[in-house]
Chain A
Amino acid sequence: MSLTHLQYLESEAIYVLRETAAQFQKPALLFSGGKDSIVMAWLARKAFYPARIPFPLLHVDTGHNFPEAMTYRDEFVKEIRANLVVGLVQKSIDEGRVVEEKGPNASRNKLQTVTLLDTIEEHQFDACLGGGRRDEEKARAKERFFSHRDEFGQWDPKNQRPELWNIFNGRKHFGEHFRVFPLSNWTEMDVWQYIRQESIPLPSLYFSHQRKIINRHGQLLDAETGFVNLLEEEKAKIEEMTIRFRTVGDVTCTGAVLSTAATLDDIVAEVAAARQTERGTRADDRRSETAMEDRKKEGYF
């Protein structure tokens, strides 16, 4: 018999999702409305079918969302009959837990960490499933499937538990928790091929469309939702472009790519030919050479 790489990856992810449900008291699945978290939720539905997913989806909402992503989120959650918990960054700002960044590059991306940790504490979640993949970023290349976090939510890359065969060690002390990454071994291409194979519906943002865009140092940022702080001189330079998004997250740090890819086949072909990583469009990773590792140590996804 022959096994395809997608069958292998699907089965591995389902195995990890079931291990998470079995080894933890109160897991949650981090759902951003981005394609990776959509695929993860899709796999969770498969893992426990015909029962419902035995844990809620958790959306850490920066408030700076594409409206299309929010509409999609609510429909998708209903379709897969899941429960949704929302943690609001705006609430953290109102309560003075975090201070909003200022200036044209202001983003709530970094503030999410505090809201995430607060929401984890409020609901007593002891494991959060994330859609992170090892091919995304070099600090993630050494991330575990079951990633241990101390009681402050911090990641210690030098003290990670070895993972062998398919044995995952989720033992922990009270107050500690885990991040679990079922898609660790997937690449961007695998995700797109799987979406195509399964015909998973996606937010329209992933497909080619017309949008008002501002080009800031080579990054194509949205100028339609009003969440990106525009400089006076930029306001005159807004252009209508044919674009799509390779990743979908907080509007302020999600860059678009010029693209006419309108179908999943087009996108798979485009990803195959791409010469830039998808995180190349993310402003948050460009802040320093080890920006991702530094954020992860503080408790980022």
Chain B
Amino acid sequence: MDVQLNPEESSLLRFTTAGSVDDGKSTLIGRLLYDCKSIFEDQLAAVEESSKRRGDEHVNLALLTDGLRAEREQGITIDVAYRYFATPKRKFIIADTPGHVQYTRNMVTGASTADLAIILIDARQGVVEQTRRHAFLAGLLRIQQVVLAVNKMDLVDYDQKVFDSICADFMRFAADLENPVAIMPIPMSALNGDNVVDASDKMDWYSGPTLLEHLEMVKVHLGEAHVESRYPVQWVIRPMSDEHHDYRGYAGRVASGSFKVGDQVIAYPAGLTSTITGIHTFNGDCEETEPALSYSIELADEIDISRGDLLAKPENPPHVTQNLDAMICWFSEKKMKTRGRYYLRHTTREVRAVVQEVVYKVDITTLDKVAEQTEFSINDIGCIRLRLATPIFCDAYSVNRITGSFVLVDEQTNNTVAAGMITRTLDGADDSDAAGAYAI
């Protein structure tokens, strides 16, 4: 179907689903895709065929997403799978991630690009340790919208008391999350299709939207739309043709805020000020940029700007820093140790970094902070202090997901070994506002 433009909000929603197979996650996704006609006949026939061959009793919808040979053999999801569907109101991208502790890194990866998280709860089990971990990770990655999908209501006789008690439990816990999260609890049965796409006739006491209605209506912003204008430079466009002899455009994608022709900007690290003389795209010139879109920007003065530099406005400068604290999730089998050296990739910039100290680790079961640690193992989460060889121009992750995030890369293997979220910067007088902005 043709996606109509929703005039108020984006016509794209990216969301992540957390939960294990036992919570009915695959059934829920299968139900959404199937009811929105995003599963094709040949896909369904292939899945039916494989289910039969494997001796599964029902058509195993997990086989739709578990495409890798090892996954199909072992009946597990080992990676983030991306699924797509559309309704007349919106296009959806699902990052489907496995829910167990040993896949924390996959959940973090899926959550990094999501605007909404669906957290599944088995109505018979209520809020369990895994629920708390999923909510913690959604908060950590700054997902602002959470759907609490209380599934398997058919197995508790569609009882409102069970639902209310689970919601109260979850709300009590969510109140302690540092980043504010909007929570939408929905009672459902993914197996029978109650409140997934169509409203249930078995829960008269629930008057809220179905899951799909909520996903179609919920307000999200793609990219960061706030006042801190940030434009990381990716590439310098120099046609060197007769027609565009002196053209020198800074190619990039707006990380946040907006830029207008005539605006004064500061280029980092040079620290020099200039004025925007042109904002160009292939389709024509613009007066003003939009968040998340790509442009080529020209400046009045010839200053030395290259890839990895940042354009910002004088009234809202970024933090320029070589020392910072960050929450990280460790991805590698090879442990992180204090004094370890890595490449740090931040926006379009790469600098060398050394781990000064482990501030604390988070016990992923109790969510307590554990001090006096010196190393991180795979799937560990915690706060570390880094020293950088050259400055980066950043913001706290709590205010900017793009200029507040980075990855660490192993110097020997070149693998991406950690995801990082900047909590505060430690040099200069300008960091007081960021200090403690992100405590857990």
Contact = CB atoms under 8 A, between A and B. Distances in A.
Q: Decide if A and B are genuine partners.
A: yes
Interface of A: 1-5, 7-11, 14-15, 18-19, 21-22, 45-52, 134-135, 137-142, 157-158, 160-167, 169, 171-173, 184-185, 187, 189-190, 193, 268, 272, 274-277, 280, 289-290, 293-294
Contacts of A275: 40-41
A205 B277 CA distance: 44
A8 B84 contact: no
Interface stretch (B67-75, B179-187, B380-388): B67-75
Nearest to A143: B82
A5 B109 contact: no
Contacts of A167: 345-347, 405-407
A19 B308 CA distance: 11
Interface stretch (B145-153, B166-174, B263-271, B408-416): B408-416
B10 interface: yes
B356 interface: no
Contact of B401 (A15, A165, A193): A165
Interface extent on B, as a size class? 35 or more
Contacts of B300: none
Nearest to B414: A171
Given A8-B222, A162-B331, A187-B86, A47 B251 contact: yes
Contact of B65 (A5, A8, A15, A138): A138
A18 B243 CA distance: 22
Q: Give the residue among A49, A135, A276 with the most B Cβ atoms within 10 A.
A: A49
A2 B5 contact: yes
Given A142-B67, A290-B69, A2 B7 contact: yes
Nearest to B63: A138
Given A49-B296, A187-B84, A4 B251 contact: no
B10 A2 contact: yes
Nearest to B12: A5
Contact of B50 (A14, A187, A289): A289
Interface stretch (B206-214, B230-238, B364-372, B432-440): B230-238
A295 B98 CA distance: 26
B200 interface: no
Contacts of B106: 162
B38 to A, nearest CB: 9
Contacts of B409: 169, 171
B69 A5 contact: no
A11 B293 contact: yes
7 contacts: A18-B234, A18-B252, A50-B249, A134-B82, A142-B81, A162-B109, A167-B406
A276 B39 CA distance: 9
